[in-house]
A and B are shown apart, each in its own frame.
Chain A
């Protein structure tokens, strides 16, 4: 019998029916709420405990614990980065969150030591401590190997009181998370899952206020230009990058009254930060007032982009699928060039209608969402991605150099920091139009 004849003579209807049943069974098995443990019997290391990740939407994932034996609740978010767990975990943008790594093999290169750089910042971390509330990985490496490591990821988590779970089908988890937007999760360590979880939404608190500095701190006091860095939850590499360009950086609290001493700053920089920009009304108001009179450069990153947009009168909306990884393409609309950026955000500026005087700066080449805005006349710009990377590609690190160069040039040219409003009506008109 020829092959084709064999195929056509196959009792297809019967076969198809049988397979449909099998298909349904496979699906119902897969979508059962209780995810089977991958290897519950085999602890991460002898004697270590079982851990459970319960989502508020109902699913439970079981795995092994490799962090502190404590329980916690947080918003469950993911990153598709391939490397950089020490950087991500200390990134204040992840404050209050349970962080899922999609790359299954985590912990391979251990955790580096707490050496400090010339500016007094931790050399290998993005803040003083682990900011996320817990981590979820596919396959934790109990043994690490790197010349720069001093301890394992497990030891670090345990020391800082952060729970961690391994053996989770993180891909299945991401399938759930990406469709739901904000998902609360509970990570608890112990043989059984917790029966009644007290769901506390960390986003109900002002996370920016928690992550921000309390007092004004000065870095690189010898710098020739003075930049105010509004701390909404700053990553150390933003400070490092500005200092490395020769700027004197005054790190100010998120709600610091910068309008009062605008004249003393050669430039203003707004950092990244955790949670929703909606809590930062004070910062937005400060920026709105600054826009009206300030003539020197202002630059924002991530949360800073959203705050600058809000201050300019642009709305913020929730993306259907957040951008979370080190592989996001952004097109610079001023040059047409496409750069690869590091990102972590679920909200974006709605740039479909720009207020007068403002234009789009970068757009995401995948989903067309906003990646930055710029003022058409004044030196005000911001980007949604992270040019400071850590972790992620360094393609856009030049934005720091561009910013400080511009600050320096304007200072040298003697452009006054504050405009004489009486003599500069045009800007005033534009600002009131956006307000």
Chain B
């Protein structure tokens, strides 16, 4: 029998909490006249079970920690006793002090049933734990009634309708809404009939065939028949679908309460047209290329669909929109919190999961307060006076034999979000956030500047498409040509084209020439980093920074207030922009800065979010003012009620210095964010930033392979023969000397990224050219 969480003696606060909890439990058990909790559908809800998402997987990561934590906060605010099931120890939601009781058990039907029998909760939420929790809801739907548990939020029936393509299409037909039309055909004649019904162009897919075998596009009957001949050779059935290749992909986040109030919190437009999974697409919020008529048409549809389906809480609807007309089609509805919801929450400042949890308790939307303004209602649609760009992060390099091509299956492991007041500024910041080695949208060496390589990349996108676009512009491709190859809207391409011009203007300044103020100011407003400008003008980052601050060009701090400054708001959610003329906030706190982990990668995930949030909470408990800096929308640390100030910003030397100086911060804690802050530790130290915890020199002593190995030699710890090398020729000589195989390790990397065993000299050459760029700043160590 489960005895409740284990606690260590001496923790007074914890004991007091447990006492209160026990008292509460006794009360709940003893007294039915107790008026605590809330009545939902005629039954009193006092104790609620929340299902977590379990272990992380691609497509189901930190965002569910965020939504679960928000839900628990909301439930506690309503005085509901919460029980959580989640076996993932790296999450905030399983931390002490959040849920009243937490079961570290697998999120499986058996375990959930056992916990229900043991805890006897009044209600259960299945919408905060991703697909895992949703599937539990579907599997146990017939048992809940018998177990005395009410499903809160969206009914399971609704979820099943949204998950089943046929049921969904039927539901949409009931309200005359358009889904992507699809017919199954088992003969060529049937396929032709279906094709005439749907209309060309079409995509033909062979059913039960692996890897898209026998599928293709048909724009007339002749092509259709030819394709079908091939397809029927491999499969007994083909699916005939309307081809929407090149259509715009638009999403709306919709919230509905149990009394049928319904709003759309955010709309988002994919930079990449239909064909790439939203999770793998670059996403812009709010939509940029829709007119009022387009926007309202899709908004009205979203509201109608969600009302018809009967969602209670939050959901996400995706559309394909024809770029040449007002024709649209509903792709899918996700009747649960998703990665897009986490993004929308952070993009707008509207706490979707928090609100969704309250709606599940039957509270009407207009009775919930907007937690940003504190004075206005949550029943409103946020207005953005900035632009948000999300870029996914892939770690495809870490896998062998994995196709780098992006398609309808999601491959990214994390995402970054950037906020700014122009598209250029925001896009460049987002690109830099994905990996510290990226300069922004500029000429690069990631895609070869040959016609074949560029066009291959543009037509069959991989994780490097945006770099291919940059190089294509540099090679002289026009907006129109790139649009034809990629189907990316011309508006985005025109904006990016402007960056290429600025880069060229900057390149005209040799190392000894002073960059004029106006050009530097313009470049900063377009989002070029100091490091990037230094790179173009052949000087170092600090020189650019000094020139810039000498000119008095500094970024401004703006608030995210959900109402576009229409009313005053008490918000601590901040971003940085050069497209402004004044700060929104005053700097009087001298807060302690805590740097977050940045984007989730393989080897750096929710555990660092947990560290950062715990650090912030500990500081606040000790009455220190805190400043959180992070740019990952899937995290709890970027929830604006965690720190006294939240900067949604890149973690680079430039940005951290800017914030440190503007805030006159007391100091920076870098040890909670994993590798990303570690990489800039020494540079911060050199710029006289006060760093709390391990001194950056000592961090360098551990991270720098050369210093580490030298120290081992000094203290007499045995280690393989090694040498630190910065040039390929030296590396080859050394390897010949010690003999293959050798281990090649670059410094400052995460979980052995780019570390490799090399067994021949040819391998060594390819490896050092491809994977690890050797440089004086970042040498490699060979052992």
Chain A residues in contact with chain B, CB under 8 A? 3-4, 6-7, 10, 12, 15-16, 18-20, 22-23, 26-27, 30-31, 35-36, 38-42, 61, 78, 80-84, 86-87, 102-105, 108-109, 112, 124, 138-139, 141-148, 167, 169-172, 174-175, 178, 321, 323-329, 331, 336-340, 365-367, 389-395
Contacts and interface: CB of A to CB of B under 8 A. Distances in A.
B587 A22 contact: yes
A14 to B, nearest CB: 11
Contact of A171 (B385, B592, B693): B385
Interface string B55-79: 0000000000000000000000000
Contacts of B751: none
B377 A19 contact: no
B588 A20 contact: yes
A244 B290 CA distance: 25
Contact of A391 (B296, B423, B479, B521): B296
Contact of A329 (B293, B323, B379, B384): B379
Interface stretch (B18-26, B220-228, B576-584): B576-584
Q: 10 smallest A-B Cβ distances: which pairs?
A: A19-B664, A41-B518, A84-B292, A391-B292, A143-B494, A30-B582, A145-B491, A80-B564, A327-B381, A102-B564
Interface stretch (B93-101, B257-265, B392-400): B257-265
B581 A38 contact: yes
B489 A393 contact: no
Q: Chain B interface mostly helix, strand, loop or mixed?
A: loop
B268 to A, nearest CB: 12
Question: In this complex, which of B421, B564, B584, B669 has the most chain A Cβ atoms within 10 angstroms of its Cβ?
Answer: B564
12 contacts: A6-B667, A6-B692, A23-B588, A26-B587, A36-B581, A39-B518, A82-B286, A143-B495, A145-B490, A171-B565, A172-B582, A393-B300
Contacts of B288: 105, 108
Given A105-B288, A109-B290, A365-B376, 10 more contacts: A6-B692, A15-B590, A80-B383, A87-B292, A103-B385, A174-B565, A329-B380, A336-B364, A337-B261, A393-B381
A98 to B, nearest CB: 17
Contact of A3 (B260, B521, B692): B692
A145 B295 contact: no
Interface in B360-380: 364-366, 375-377, 379-380
Nearest to B366: A338
B383 A40 contact: no
A58 to B, nearest CB: 14
Interface of B: 259-261, 263, 286-293, 295-296, 299-300, 303, 323-325, 364-366, 375-377, 379-387, 421-423, 479, 489-491, 494-495, 516, 518-519, 521-522, 525, 556, 558, 563-568, 579-584, 586-588, 590, 592, 622, 624, 662-664, 666-667, 669, 690, 692-693
A70 B663 CA distance: 42
Contacts of B662: 26
A331 B556 CA distance: 38
A393 B669 CA distance: 46
A383 B569 CA distance: 27
A104 B579 contact: yes
A22 to B, nearest CB: 5
Given A327-B381, A340-B263, A42 B522 contact: yes
Nearest to A321: B567
Contacts of B590: 12, 15-16, 19
B259 A337 contact: yes
A174 B581 CA distance: 12
Contacts of B286: 82-83, 103
B383 A325 contact: yes
Nearest to B323: A147
B582 A102 contact: no
A26 B260 contact: no
B692 A7 contact: yes
B355 to A, nearest CB: 13
B380 A366 contact: yes
Contacts of A3: 669, 692-693
Given A103-B384, A174-B564, A41 B624 contact: no
A39 B580 contact: no
A144 B495 CA distance: 10
A7 B624 CA distance: 9
Question: In this complex, which of B263, B288, B291, B385 has the most chain A Cβ atoms within 10 angstroms of its Cβ?
Answer: B291
Contacts of A35: 581-582
A209 B387 CA distance: 40
A323 B376 CA distance: 12
Contacts of A41: 516, 518-519, 521-522
A39 B520 CA distance: 10
Contacts of A139: 421-423, 579
B292 A83 contact: yes
A38 B365 CA distance: 40
A26 B583 contact: yes
A47 to B, nearest CB: 16
Contacts of A172: 580-582
Nearest to B299: A393
Nearest to B587: A23
Contacts of A329: 366, 377, 379-380
A30 B590 CA distance: 19
Contacts of B516: 41
A323 B382 CA distance: 14
B491 A366 contact: no
A224 to B, nearest CB: 26
A322 to B, nearest CB: 8
Nearest to A110: B291
Contacts of A81: 292, 383
Given A3-B692, A38-B525, A103-B385, A83 B295 contact: yes
A38 to B, nearest CB: 6
A20 B693 CA distance: 26
